[in-house]
Chains A and B, each alone.
Chain A
Amino acid sequence: SQQGEEDPQALSIQEGENATMNCSYKTSINNLQWYRQNSGRGLVHLILIRSNEREKHSGRLRVTLDTSKKSSSLLITASRAADTASYFCATDLEGGSYIPTFGRGTSLIVHP
């Protein structure tokens, strides 16, 4: 079964608005990563947050991690039409393999 599950499955917003996606997981992790996939393309790594970190920023991206709730959120501020894509979280388990397990993704549409 999937380790990480993204929520919502789909999100539709207007350009300029903020987009928030969430990821919940079941067992303790070492790292959590967020990836982006444009339609019909491969995935591109966005950001990695380690289990001992609570927040990370990269440009317009802000990722938080709450290990007590086993959840993470990805915030995209001031969204652009070019942010339209699917976003996936990937987790690798504490004490387990380094190979990440991906969720089913959130499909984000940003209307110009």
Chain B
Amino acid sequence: DVKVTQSSRYLVKRTGEKVFLECVQDMDHENMFWYRQDPGLGLRLIYFSYDVKMKEKGDIPEGYSVSREKKERFSLILESASTNQTSMYLCASLNRPGPVSYEQYFGPGTRLTVT
């Protein structure tokens, strides 16, 4: 049974704090993604990684950084949290796309509140 796990379901941080969100997948997938989800805006891609130590900016990378030191783990870092980063954060993984599947597997999400 495939699984993507996120380190926290709920997180409350103060403005200016450094925040780490961790994501782990057990499917040996090549690609991993971080999205944020806000009401009325859907899912927006922050960063993705197609291999260990490789990363690409998504649509809204400002204020975020990522780290992928191991294939199974993809971390999202908020260097200095701000209230406008209060959101639901979703991690996903995807095997190498091909004729079989483009299906992404999502974690349960982390609801981050920055006060």
Contacts and interface: CB of A to CB of B under 8 A. Distances in A.
A102 B43 contact: yes
B108 A42 contact: yes
Given A33-B103, A43-B106, A99 B45 contact: yes
A88 interface: yes
Give the size category of A's interface with B: 20 to 34
B106 A42 contact: yes
B103 A98 contact: no
Given A104-B40, A105-B42, A48 B102 contact: yes
B97 A43 contact: no
The main secondary structure of chain A at its interface with chain B is: strand
A98 B41 CA distance: 21
A112 interface: no
Given A2-B42, A104-B42, A105-B42, A41 B104 contact: no
B64 interface: no
Nearest to B102: A31
Interface string A37-57: 000111111001000000000
B97 A98 contact: yes
B10 to A, nearest CB: 10
B24 interface: no
B104 A45 contact: yes
Interface string B94-115: 1001000111111111010000
A98 B42 CA distance: 19
A104 B42 CA distance: 4
Given A33-B102, A98-B94, 16 more contacts: A2-B42, A35-B104, A40-B88, A42-B90, A42-B92, A42-B109, A43-B43, A43-B92, A43-B106, A44-B106, A48-B101, A98-B97, A99-B48, A100-B102, A102-B35, A104-B41
Interface of B: 4, 33, 35, 40-43, 45, 48, 88, 90, 92, 94, 97, 101-109, 111
Interface of A: 2, 31, 33, 35, 40-45, 48, 88, 90, 92, 98-105
